[in-house]
Structure 1
């Protein structure tokens, strides 16, 4: 049987196969991402819309010779400029961007915090007028229910490092944080079960000792079952949750729980150190990891400063992947995201990437990584059917010879894990509660493993 896919998805697969035919390998620059003269200064953050476009923010005053693209710009998938914003102060540097499920866009820096409509106009339905001063956000995480987690820089006006806002910008009084974090929160990651990982400069959360790293329950209360042990004077700059629930942390630490771990560690679900994850021993001096991306094949991309080439890849057990021959960046990597096609978008303060005498492509590149539909998975596609596609309420999966399915991992179109589905008496998935869009299913049985896309109408 052949898998039932839309024509668009078939074209996607054909393009993916062509990347193998023409010999691109992991770490190679994707030259189809053409940003022209690119940025003239640092790109601090990058996020991806559901339609494949990218939103960038940073310190640049020009992007690809366009002065209207100062500090904040949207790019098409091919790297060309899609949209620029009007009436934002260009004397600021913008460090934080975020995208809501409805694709509205946040932009924030010291003393400025705005939401934009999808056409890049200012969204006047979002107001922070309840505050006497504009909060300076370190991190913004929109939630699927429309609420917004915000990590703040604390000061005389804001003594809480973490807030949850309603969709209109008002404070969510139901968020049970108490006195919250007593200093700035710089990283926020929401686990699939709704629990919230935070990192920053705080030493207490709601009066309980938690040195710079903690996990909260979904209602904002402190999760007392989660144990942490970060050395004094060190920080966590990056957090990534693996599909199995284990947690990768990156920063400038050299130990965790008194055991050597050089800038990166993996934790068990309860926060204890995963001793099976090796430490790569980057340098004899302090480096820093700013961003971690877990690939679909389990390998781990890390970006930062003073780690080898400021960017490299690890095996799933933490050892250095010596098959990955990328020359990395000639400056700091500040942010990375993974596309559904396995490509990695990398932003930072660099002028060349993966080339000893590289071209001037300041601040943003895209490279070939792994793929959601890799070669082995493409070969297994003849084992399943999915229908209807697009689906409205129920998605049915049929297997060759009626093989029993075990689980399916559901991902958003930009590769974010949503949940795991366990098959019992039938092979149907209720998708009625999913927002409209493109999704990825990674389906497992006793005899094969396959990935495919479907569209929710």
Structure 2
């Protein structure tokens, strides 16, 4: 195939007419692929693969003979979720395409066909036309006077690209031989991501190929896609501070809270959170802005000017204390109950008939703290609770906790007839989920995002960060949710 491309290169040329830079546009797309519209009449926010909106003269490759162009189709793929961080259904409302040079041989306008497609699976390597589902086709006229400008194609009221789908836009230049038309779209080499694909039947390319495959790697078509969310969600997707001890706890509707735990000796008055929010939204205070958390929680506001939605989040950053944050036993029969101030108690349920005078519970505390007796050491719980003391390694901070182990019948703490054991919990590298007739298991992070899915009952957790996770266990058509704590 490469040989065929080389043989036909003589039919491909760059545009020979120098185009002026545009007027009335932003020169740079900001904030990783998106910004507000460059055209004030266009609403919504913009997606682009191009870092610069300036046409580079002579950059666009085309199948033509120098006097007119043959049929050329250019394709751009927009992986909305993975490349642009768009979560949820998205409405495409406008498309802009740069025009480097337009020369209509019949002294009239020449046609440009713009097609919107959706694609379910995209590997960033190729686009197969048979896998594209057409949303809409529109044909517009391009006049010679539009050379060196951005051409706007209005798709109002818009077309929905479902969550997780890939938007593909085709710019089709019909064969200009009959009317002696010569049209070059605008491009440059200032790409952020992805590539331009071309299909040119007259030059022997009947399916879209990456322009780099025909030895023109420096061409990135300048195009902008404008739209908005069908149902905007002003969420905080991640909130991290360097040095934090465990995964951030993010609670969405109805709480809208964020909690970060820092080491006990961290000064909280000048911290720099790194925050991720969906594309098209903004957050105040901004990500990367130094913030004082020493006086209590700070209100962060996520909003979207285009959809007029806003949500306030209560963000607290606290120092780790002498807390027990997890406990577990292989004999566990239900959820461990940890009650902090003012009780400072831990209750571990085990199966009825367990030997309470020789148990070795795993007790977990924050980094920088120690616990006495040691976690995993044998203790006698047959006479009642055992006192565990949590102390900081260097600070004068200590707290006594009463840890109890209670026997519970097999029917307690389970749904219907199903008994599920998860051990150890908290876990380090391997966790085992023991139950009859498990069909599958999902691990979700605290935001509800599925991390992985498996049918195995022993799961390797070594690749995952410390924090709180949810196990969804599927048994006989029933879904059981269990909390899992990963601590190292």
TM-score, normalised with respect to structure 1? 0.30
Which structure has greater strand proportion?
A: 2
Instruction: Return the index of the structure with the highest Cα Rg.
Output: 2
TM-score, normalised with respect to structure 2? 0.29
